[in-house]
C-alpha cells in the first residue's frame, strides 16, 4: 500500500475524478459507525461562520448524490438529504492510496472508496 498524505487541493482534485461513480463512505466517530452507499454526482464545500458551539464544523465537504445509510441501530435508510456531509478541520489529515481516501479528524475517521458492484 503506497499511502500518501495530500493537501486539501490535491484531495479535491483526485476526488473530483470520482464524479459519476458509486462510492461507499465509512464513518467511525467515537462509538458511532455508519456506512453510506451513494452515486456521487458532485462535490461541494461550505463554510459556516455562524456556529453556535464548538461541535458544529466551520468547514464541510458535501458529497452530493442519492444513496443509503446503514447505521448501527437503524439498518438501511435513504439519505435524509441529497448529500452526505463530512466536517473538515484545520488539522484534518487527507490520505490516499490509489483507490481509497481517508480523512482523519479530531472526531473520527472517514473512508471513501469506489463501491464494489
Q: Give the model's confidence band at 114: pLDDT under 50 very low, under 70 low, under 90 confident, else very high.
A: very high
**Any idea where the domains of the chain sit in the sequence?**
4-47+58-114
Q: How far is the C-alpha of 47 from the C-alpha of 16, rounded, in Å?
A: 19
- Residue range 12-71, pLDDT digits in tens: 999 999 999 999 999 998 888 889 999 999 999 988 755 455 555 568 999 999 999 987
* pTM, rounded to two decimals: 0.86
Nine cell digits for residue 24: 461507499
Asked if 62 and 46 count as a contact pair (C-beta separation under 8 A), the reply is yes
Q: Give the model's confidence band at 83: pLDDT under 50 very low, under 70 low, under 90 confident, else very high.
A: very high
Of 18-32, 69-83, 89-103, where does mean pLDDT reach its minimum?
69-83
Helix (H) or strand (E) holding 44: strand 32-47
Closest CA to 54 of 106, 104, 111: 106
> What region, left, alpha or beta, does residue 101 occupy, with left being phi > 0 and alpha being psi -120 to 50 degrees?
beta
Asked if 104 and 16 count as a contact pair (C-beta separation under 8 A), the reply is no
Amino acid at each position: 500500500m503506497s499511502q500518501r498524505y495530500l493537501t486539501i487541493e490535491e484531495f479535491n482534485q483526485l476526488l473530483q475524478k470520482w464524479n459519476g461513480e458509486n462510492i461507499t463512505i465509512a464513518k467511525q466517530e467515537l462509538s458511532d459507525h455508519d456506512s453510506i452507499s451513494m452515486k456521487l454526482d458532485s462535490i461541494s464545500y461550505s463554510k459556516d461562520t455562524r456556529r453556535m458551539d464548538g461541535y458544529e464544523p466551520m468547514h464541510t465537504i458535501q458529497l452530493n448524490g442519492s444513496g443509503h445509510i446503514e447505521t448501527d441501530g437503524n439498518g438501511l435508510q435513504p439519505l435524509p438529504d441529497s448529500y452526505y456531509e463530512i466536517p473538515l478541520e484545520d488539522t484534518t489529515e487527507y490520505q490516499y492510496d490509489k483507490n481509497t481516501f481517508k480523512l482523519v479528524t479530531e472526531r473520527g475517521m472517514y473512508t471513501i472508496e469506489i463501491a464494489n458492484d
